[in-house]
Structure 1
Amino acid sequence: MRTITIIAGPTAVGKTKFAIEAAKVLDGEIVSCDSMQLYKYMDIGSAKPTSEEMAQVKHHLVDIIDPSQPFSVAQYQTMAKNAINEIFEKSKIPIISGGTGLYVNSLIYDMDFGGGNVDTQLRSDLLKEAEEKGTSELYNRLVRLDPDAAQRIHPNNTKKLIRALEAAISGQKIKDFKNCTEKCKDYDINFIILTRNRDELYDRINKRVDLLVESGLFEEVKALLNRGLTEQDISMKGIGYKEVIASLRGDCSKDDSIALIKKNTRHFAKRQITWFKRYNEATWLNISDYISDDEALGELIRWLKNKYKFTAKATDRII
């Protein structure tokens, strides 16, 4: 069976560098697994790979959607699988890179998003809330709207929770939904989750936010607003964008908005790590355990070469 590699992890951990180097060594192409980097014109706030980085390795699902348009997990699943098949047809290796857990789920599990009339804006809003705030607020809302459905659904079952909320909000009767635990049979998966010690990761987050601001984050948000986007657009609810909008509106100072971006990003990274801990099949690589990022990268490359049966042997340290 054909094999894909997923390189996931929290924001600012270093996924872009590791994925690009892995793709170069393995003769692969990268499929983005990031819910913000797929939007056009949102380069800085999403920490999108630079043009120089994307010139090194072909990237898929970056800069593909206008930020005024909603985008669902179902759409991502379809487009990502199409990109994966396209890469396989070139006899290359697909490298999935990103930190959006729901997107990862859509590739690992045999998720059927169903048909029928779907309010894509509502679903996008709920998915974004689940991604950024976790599922507890969504679950509490379901308890208020449909306590019977809430009793049947685990608070961490994101798919069922969102489908139940869609039904409750629209007034439709909810059906029984199957747990998404059956693995996708389309391909085998090498699954790596990058992490760092908390203090190091948080320091990288703080420094990256400062770099984003220096690179023109506030100017980027102004340009997006001039394009007609508003805080009601799902794309503008992402971390970094909503805080800048609040500052531009006069709700807080620029310095306060920057501090809030750092805080919200740190909290988001913590939730990402919690999410990724559910994947028992994944191998974790703590970059902080190595003398340098390059040493950790070398360990990842050796491990992947072994998985793909290249001549180099992997050490046991990564396992």
Structure 2
Amino acid sequence: MKWTMKKEIIIIAGPTAVGKTKYAIEAAKALDGEVVSSDSMQLYQFMDIGSAKPTKEERAQIRHYLVDEVDPREAFSVAEYQRRAKAAIQDIFSRGKTPVVSGGTGLYVNSLIYDMDFSAPPASQEYRHQLEQLASSQGKEYLHRLLEEKDPQGAERIHPNNVKKVIRALEVAEHAGTGIKSFEQSFVPTKDYTCCLLGLCRQREELYGRIDQRVDLLLDMGLVEEVRGLLSMGLTPENISMKGIGYKEIMGYLQGEYDLEQAVYLVKRNTRHYAKRQMTWFKRYEDMTWFDLSSYADDELAIKEMIIWLSKNR
């Protein structure tokens, strides 16, 4: 999709629990904008607590897109996210407003910055079944060694434990004769608009403390009951939506795999690990301007400086 005038979107990215929702709302207020979420969990209906979805009060302040839109029993892809998000961005532009993208799902952010190619060859059910049988009979390490032979670079980027991605990479290598493209090779900057990239970060100990506090708060808000309700709707560990951090660990507790104390420990640990991976991802964007929120006395001062920066640099 093209626009006749030069358009710019603001992207506010960063790790979980850093405070993106608050900053995106304030940026949207200052810029006469609306928020487009790039969070892979907040888009699901019925998953309000574990996803730390913007509250009804926050959404009443500024219109949000890609929040609370998809049934968690449905499959959802990056390609579908890109389609919906770009349609939202076009709608926001059409009304003379500024799109403010907020979230921490790196691949979703990528799909808006770059013209990602989703045209991988269709999967062969027979070949996939053969690979799944090999993984079951010979082990995931054996499957990963096959990938090393067919696509050494892809094997370097995909962990042996991620059997689903290993199988997909093998399918691409087998049927297209090419490997999975690298981060640098896969994307060409979009011509639909320009992007102003802002990254939010905090000192590690502060961020980890915020993560622990948020997990405790989500439990107080009823996370266990929310997951119990999702299970009663027929959702299982096989649903993509239930693989999200917070949901999969509490589901394990409810299914008797471990006690609640262990589940809480796992949620906090896995969230910290995820935050680290998010920072690694976003630091690859060379043109991202970072705001270390730990260096400010409070959020209000940081928000004020961010808005001043935006007014000078847009």
Q: Tell me the CA shift for residue 116 of structure 1.
A: 5.1
Q: Tell me the CA shift for residue 147 of structure 1.
A: 2.5
Equivalent residue number for residue 75 of structure 1: 80
Q: Secondary structure at the match of 2:16?
A: coil
Following the alignment from structure 1 to structure 2, what is the Cα–Cα distance between the partners of residues 218 and 41?
13
Equivalent residue number for residue 304 of structure 1: 310
Q: Tell me the CA shift for residue 249 of structure 1.
A: 1.4
Q: Tell me the CA shift for residue 45 of structure 1.
A: 0.3
| TM-score for the superposition, normalised by structure 1 | 0.84
What does 1:111-260 align with in structure 2 at a 5 Å threshold? 111-114=116-119, 117=122, 143-153=144-154, 155-156=156-157, 165-166=167-168, 168=170, 172-176=174-178, 179-260=185-266
Q: Secondary structure at the match of 2:302?
A: helix
Conserved? CA contact 1:143–1:150, under 8 Å: no
Equivalent residue number for residue 7 of structure 1: 12
Following the alignment from structure 1 to structure 2, what is the Cα–Cα distance between the partners of residues 163 and 157?
7
Following the alignment from structure 2 to structure 1, what is the Cα–Cα distance between the partners of residues 269 and 172?
34
Following the alignment from structure 1 to structure 2, what is the Cα–Cα distance between the partners of residues 186 and 103?
16
Q: Tell me the CA shift for residue 305 of structure 1.
A: 1.4
1:21 aligns with 2:26: yes
Q: Tell me the CA shift for residue 166 of structure 1.
A: 1.5
Following the alignment from structure 1 to structure 2, what is the Cα–Cα distance between the partners of residues 152 and 13?
33
Q: Tell me the CA shift for residue 283 of structure 1.
A: 0.7
Following the alignment from structure 2 to structure 1, what is the Cα–Cα distance between the partners of residues 142 and 176?
16
Pairs aligned (count): 289
Following the alignment from structure 2 to structure 1, what is the Cα–Cα distance between the partners of residues 142 and 281?
21
Q: Secondary structure at the match of 2:186?
A: coil
Following the alignment from structure 2 to structure 1, what is the Cα–Cα distance between the partners of residues 229 and 21?
26
Following the alignment from structure 1 to structure 2, what is the Cα–Cα distance between the partners of residues 218 and 251?
15
Supply the AA of the counterpart residue of 1:150. Answer: D
Q: Tell me the CA shift for residue 270 of structure 1.
A: 0.7
What does 1:36-115 align with in structure 2 at a 5 Å threshold? 36-114=41-119
Equivalent residue number for residue 279 of structure 1: 285
Q: Secondary structure at the match of 1:285?
A: strand
Q: Tell me the CA shift for residue 256 of structure 1.
A: 1.4
Conserved? CA contact 2:120–2:172, under 8 Å: no
1:269 aligns with 2:275: yes
Q: Secondary structure at the match of 1:201?
A: helix
Structure 1 residues 7, 195: closer, same or farther in 2, change over 3 A?
Answer: same
Name the Cα RMSD after superposition.
2.5
Q: Tell me the CA shift for residue 193 of structure 1.
A: 0.7
Which runs of 5 or more structure 1 residues have no equivalent in the other structure?
Answer: 120-137, 309-319
Q: Tell me the CA shift for residue 118 of structure 1.
A: 5.1
Supply the AA of the counterpart residue of 1:75. Answer: E
Conserved? CA contact 1:244–1:257, under 8 Å: yes
Following the alignment from structure 1 to structure 2, what is the Cα–Cα distance between the partners of residues 162 and 155?
15
Q: Tell me the CA shift for residue 175 of structure 1.
A: 3.3
Q: Tell me the CA shift for residue 252 of structure 1.
A: 1.1
Q: Secondary structure at the match of 2:39?
A: coil
Supply the AA of the counterpart residue of 1:259. Answer: Y
Q: Secondary structure at the match of 1:62?
A: coil
Structure 1 residues 91, 236: closer, same or farther in 2, change over 3 A?
Answer: same
Which runs of 5 or more structure 2 residues have no equivalent in the other structure?
Answer: 1-5, 125-139
Q: Secondary structure at the match of 1:53?
A: helix
